[in-house]
Amino acid sequence: MLENIKSKKITGKKIRTNNNKIDEIISLWKEVPTLGLSGDIYAVYYNYESDFNGDFDFLIGSENSALKDFADIKEGKYMIWTADSQDAVGSAWQKIWNTELDRAYESDFEVYSQDGSIKIFIGIK
45-97 pLDDT, tens per residue?
999 999 999 999 999 999 999 999 999 999 999 999 999 998 899 999 999 99
- Each residue of 9-49: pLDDT tens digit? 999 999 999 999 999 999 999 999 999 999 999 999 999 99
Looking at residue 103, which CATH number applies to its domain?
3.20.80.10
Q: CA-CA distances (angstroms) from residue 17 to 24, 26, 95, 98, 103?
A: 7, 11, 21, 21, 19
- The count of domains in the chain is 1
Torsion over CA: 23, 25, 26, 30 (sign) = positive
Coil/strand/helix, residue 77: strand
pLDDT of residue 62: 98
Instruction: Please state the rounded mean pLDDT for residues 93-116.
Output: 95
| Average per-residue pLDDT for the chain | 96
Full-model pTM: 0.94
pLDDT of residue 73: 98
**Residue 81 CB coordination number (10 Å):** 18
Range of the domain at 86: 2-124
